[in-house]
Each structure stands twice: as C-alpha cells, then as structure tokens.
Structure 1
Amino acid sequence: MTVIADAHVDLLLELAYRERRLGETGVFARTWLPLLEQGRVGLQVCPVFVDHAVQPEGSLREALALVAAFHHALDESPGRLIHVRTAADLDPVERGERIGLMLSLEGVEPFGVETWPADVFHALGVRMAGLTWNLRNAFADGTGEEGGGLSRLGRRLVDRLVALGVIIDLAHASSGAFDEILERAPGHPVLSSHGGCRAVHDTPRNLDDRQLRALAAAGGLVGVMLHPIAIGPERGTIAGVIEHLEHAAEVVGVDGVCLGGDFTRRLWEAMPTPALPEDGLTPAGHRPGAGIEGLTGPEDYQRLVAALRERGWADADVEAVASGNLLRFLRRALPSG
C-alpha cells in the first residue's frame, strides 16, 4: 500500500478529552493508532487547537494538556512511534519502521500577548505553527476577517519563529497576513497544511491561484483538506477531493501538493459537541463533523489512492502527493539532527 504523510489532523483534542475528562489511559494506542495503521499513514502532523472562547490563561492550560496527550501517545507505543523534531527522525519513517508524529500549533491564542511562549512550545517539540485560526487575535487576522494582516506583535512573532526554525503554516491566515508573512520571512519554510483551491470552491478558507503560485515560489506546499468546508458541500466525495488536487497540481505542479486530512467526524462522535465561535465561513446547514463520502478518517486513505490511480494518475505522482512531497519538504525544513 502507498504510504501517507498527513499535514493536519486534530486527534489531540480527543486524546486530551479522554485523558482529562474520562480518566482513560492508553488512548492513542487503542483509538488512533489502529486507524493510522489501516490507512498506511507513515507521518501525522498533530495540531494543538484551543477554542477561542477560552481566555488566554485557560487557553495556555488547554494547549499544554494537548501537548501532554501528544507525549503520552509517544510514551505508550515507543516501538511503533517516533517524535519528529529533526530531519534524522524521518529516517525510520521512510524505512517503514515507525509512524512519525509531529507537533504543530493551529493558532497562537495560548500565547496571549507575548512572544516568549514560542520558545517554550518549541522546547516541547513544536516544529510548525500557524498564527491564527479563522478569527482575529493579537498577532494577525484569520481567514474569517476582511482586509487586515499582521500586527506589530505578529511581526515580532514571525521573526521569533524564523529564529527558532519553526515552519510557518499559512492555512488559516487572512490574505493580508499570508502576503505579509511571505514578505517578512523570505526563504523560510512555509506551507498551507490544510485547505483547498478557491477556483474549485469559493470560500475564504481556500487559496486563490495567486496565493498558490506565491506559496510555490516560496518553496512551500498546499495541503488539500479532506473536509466539505474546503472541498465544497456539493462536492463532498472523493471525486470532489480529486478536483482540488488536480487544480492545485495544474497551477503549481504535482510536487507542490500534499494532503492535510482535517478529519473531524470521529472527534464529533467521541466528544461533546463544542460551540465553535461564529467565523463567517461555515455554510448554512453544515453539519458539525461532516466528512467526505468514503473518506471520513485516516483508515480510508487507500480509497483515495485507488481513486487517483483509476483517474489515470501516474504512480510517481500518486506517491508524491500521498507522502513524498511533504517528507521531502520536512527534510529541508527541519534541523538535520
């Protein structure tokens, strides 16, 4: 089976909930590990995401609980998992000996109005960070806002992330923040971990062709998100996902595309339904936890692989999008060891 490298799945939310609220142990080994193995996922980026309704001090505690759950998962299955912090950590992943887990931040709300937490989270293993979710914070505007970009504090944080060598994720950045980050951090590793193509489905969560080209010119990747919000409610099938993959490949080349699953159905089934803040991006009638038909979790990844081959994709292109591009990007972006 084809190996998968996935740039974004919020599995830490479930792990932390089960550990803290239900008192469970060994959660990852019992739940997500079998799903990753079934889908042949070799690398999984695990974001830390905190509900915007939580105030800064509580937000920091919530974020640290997710980081703790990440490390507990590694401790539970040391013979099966590896914490990816350096390029050398990818060696057992590419040999098929370990599943690599990499820690990221989906928004820096836990930082409050300070930049020093970037150093702390880097020490805890974070190697990728996006400044925002969909809403505005003290650092930048997200995709749910109109017009704005980085604040002065946000510019300082970008500089600190560059100094630390943390990959910058543009997935939820407003168009202004997207452009400012690329201008402020030339040559620094950037990507959009999960989203889609606005030319296929017009939503602010997706990148337009100009942004796709700018990302490619910066050496970055676009991760296609396997969720109806990005793919389009009317395109919620594997064929709809392939539309986005093919458009992105047409604009930036197949070597500029990867996968960013953002599977949410299991989370909404396993946890109490959170009341997400109004972000102006969720379509009317959208069901929380909606998924792509036939592609609702990492266990289904080989269905996408098979569909790409049936569509006529060359094996080399399938392998590139499935894992090769993201692994190559991380080889360049992470410290050597």
Structure 2
Amino acid sequence: MIADAHVDLLLELGYRELRFGESNTFARTWLPLLEAGGVGLQVCPVFVELERQPEGTLREALGQATCLLRAVRENPDRVLQVRSVADLDAVVRGERLGLMLSLEGVEQFGYELWPAETFWELGVRMAGLTWNRRNPYSDGAAEDGGLSRLGRALVDRLVELGVILDLAHASPAAFAEIVSRLKGAPVICSHAACRSVYDHPRNLTDDQLRSLAAADGVFGLMLHPLAIGHDVRTLDRVVDHLEHAIGVIGIDRVCFGGDFTTRLSEVLPTFPESADGLMPVGLAPGAGIEGLQGPEDYPALLARMKARGWGDADIAAISSGNLLAFLRRSLPKEL
C-alpha cells in the first residue's frame, strides 16, 4: 500500500464541481488513478490559487474542503475521511481508501485564529502556514523572515487543537522557529527533497533534516522535478534523494509526498505559476518525473527501488509504514 502526504487533487475537484456543477468528480478522475497506483491513504491539501487571493480565499478554501466531503459521501463503499486513528485502522485493514484534509497556506484565516477551529471540525489534520510567499503569519521559502507574532499565536492554537504542523514551503527561519516552538507536538515536512542532492530553496538541508528528526517528525519526498532536479528527471534521481535522506535521518523517517502536477496542468485553464513559485527557468509547472507522472505510476518507482537493491521491508516502510506510524501517534484516537 502507498501512503502519500501531498497531492493537490482538490484543485481539480474544486474547478469542476464549484464552477461547473459536476458531481462525483473524484470517482471519475482521481480515484481510478489512486487505486491503480495502490494508494491507500492520500493527504489532500486545500490550496487557494494566488489569483483568487485575497477576496475569494475563504470561499475557495471552504469549497475545496466541501469537495472532499462530497467525494466521501458519494463513494461510501470505496472512500472514507481520515480524522482519527480509528479511521486510519480501517484504511490499514484495506476496507476503503482514506482521504485526509490538510492546509497548504492559511491565507483564508485572514488575521484571526478562530478559523483554525472551523477547519479542524471539517477534518483538517495537517497545516502549513504559507506557500513560499509572505502572509500575515509567516514567511515562506521565497522570503527571508520567520514567524510574525500572529504566526506564533497560530502555531500555539494549532498545537492546542491537535493539528500537525507542516514545514513544507516554510522559510529557513520559520522552519527553525516552528520546530523550537512545538515542544513535542507532531511535525512533518510533507513534500520537499534534499538540498545536498539538488540545491533548491524548496529542499531541506541536512541540518534541517536532522532537526526534523530530532522533533520526532517525518520527511515526505516530493516527486516533482522542481525538487528532484529539473535537469535529471529520472526514477534513479528520485531514489538518490530517498537514499540520501535515509542516510541522514534513518529509514523510519522518510515517506512519499508526491505533489504530482502533470494532470492538473492539463485540466486547469490557468495552472498556478508565479514569480514566487520558485520554478527553475525552462521548467513547466506541470512537468513530471520520467515514468512517474502521477499516483498511477507508483509501481514503477517501487520496481526501481527494488532494482537498486532495496529489500521489501525498507520499501514498505517508505511507501506507507512510516507515514502511517506517524499519523497513528499524531491523530486523535477517535472522535
């Protein structure tokens, strides 16, 4: 089974359902792809495209969350929402595919803390404060600062609620400050790669990887050329990143955070692209790894890991065991 910490499938569901009134879009689009790739758990971020900010941010975020709730309601025999360890147990038993809500940026909160509680009640269990750029709470990877005073208060409120803090897209200063502030609360970097293998602002240094591990967190490898390397977009380079991360923080701290965008770039009329998207020159936003364009291609990656000499136990740990274990110790037991 594959457990994936980040795919923006709600962007497509929101586009089709909120703008054009389609129904059961998930069953016709992403569900077959996830099932073909053996995905049993998919973390689904709410991400509001920059051109819809600030006026439409809250409305769009709530709409995307509603699309996930619809996907569960319309496919009760195949899909469930993961809010607790009890839900996770059903996924592990293979009863249904699990979808878990996360936030990729909190711009929809405005300048207030109370929306954190609303999104928790909708099922959000993971949240990153920003997407590369600066917002009222934090600087992202395209900036140099850290948390604002409001951001520190939000981190504390998210911890109080039980939300897992996601360090993907955080600036180095924000990354360090969040880790130091958590004091044992769960933390993840859901989708990034290794700066030592490919030097890019979205990737983590070895010191950041060690800091994440020291905080009992996990690292999700982003399967996108932006992070893996726009000049070498191969499965072998993906495995190079996996092996480097494992060498730094151990086999039990690494998982997948796919962030596949090829399909989204083909479906959405204006796929997100901006100066602070940190896209290397010449790399299209929808570019993919050769042989790994979406979740349906996960078997090819597992086969490449096997060919590189990986044992079954280590493949199972990376593909699902580590993320599931992390969520088991981070989510509420039941609701």
- Give the TM bin, normalised by the shorter chain: over 0.9
Q: Which residue of 1 aligns with 2:51?
A: 53
State yes or no: 1:180 paired with 2:177: yes
Deviation for aligned residue 1:51: 1.8
SS at match of 1:5: strand
Deviation for aligned residue 1:275: 5.0
Structure 1: 5+ residue stretches without partners: none
Q: For the Cα contact (< 8 Å) 1:45–1:101, is it kept in 2?
A: yes
Q: Which residue of 1 aligns with 2:72?
A: 74
SS at match of 1:120: helix
Amino acid at match of 1:235: V
Structure 2 CA distance for partners of 1:275 and 1:127, relative to 1, 3 Å: closer
Deviation for aligned residue 1:22: 2.4
Deviation for aligned residue 1:53: 3.1
Following superposition of structure 1 onto structure 2, how do residues 96-107 of structure 1 map, counting pairs within 5 Å? 96-107=94-105
Following superposition of structure 1 onto structure 2, how do residues 84-233 of structure 1 map, counting pairs within 5 Å? 84-146=82-144, 148-233=145-230
> Runs (4+) of structure 1 moved beyond 3 Å?
none
How many Å separate the matches in 2 of 1:273 and 1:231? 24
Amino acid at match of 2:147: L
How many Å separate the matches in 2 of 1:169 and 1:321? 18
State yes or no: 1:265 paired with 2:274: no
Amino acid at match of 1:20: L
Structure 2: 5+ residue stretches without partners: none
Q: For the Cα contact (< 8 Å) 2:137–2:151, is it kept in 1?
A: yes
Deviation for aligned residue 1:267: 0.6
Q: For the Cα contact (< 8 Å) 2:81–2:100, is it kept in 1?
A: yes
SS at match of 1:243: helix
SS at match of 1:302: helix
Amino acid at match of 1:332: R
How many Å separate the matches in 1 of 2:54 and 2:22? 27
Amino acid at match of 1:101: L
With normalisation by structure 2, the TM-score equals 0.98
How many Å separate the matches in 2 of 1:277 and 1:47? 19
Taking only the aligned residue pairs, the percentage that are identical comes to 64
Q: Which residue of 2 aligns with 1:9?
A: 7
Following superposition of structure 1 onto structure 2, how do residues 284-295 of structure 1 map, counting pairs within 5 Å? 284-295=281-292
How many Å separate the matches in 2 of 1:90 and 1:37? 17
Q: Which residue of 2 aligns with 1:309?
A: 306
How many Å separate the matches in 1 of 2:103 and 2:174? 17
SS at match of 2:44: strand
How many Å separate the matches in 2 of 1:72 and 1:175? 37
Q: Which residue of 2 aligns with 1:281?
A: 278
Q: Which residue of 2 aligns with 1:23?
A: 21
SS at match of 2:238: helix
Deviation for aligned residue 1:271: 1.2
Deviation for aligned residue 1:280: 6.2
Give a deviation string over 1:51-104, Cα, whole Å, max 9, x none. Answer: 233333410001011011111100111011111000111111111111110000
Give a deviation string over 1:132-159, Cα, whole Å, max 9, x none. Answer: 101010000000112x100000000000
State yes or no: 1:296 paired with 2:285: no
Amino acid at match of 2:65: V
Q: Which residue of 2 aligns with 1:252?
A: 249
- Decide which moves more: 265-274 or 312-321: 265-274
How many Å separate the matches in 2 of 1:169 and 1:204? 16
Q: Which residue of 2 aligns with 1:328?
A: 325
Amino acid at match of 2:295: P
The CA RMSD measured in Å over matched residues stands at: 0.9
Aligned length: 334
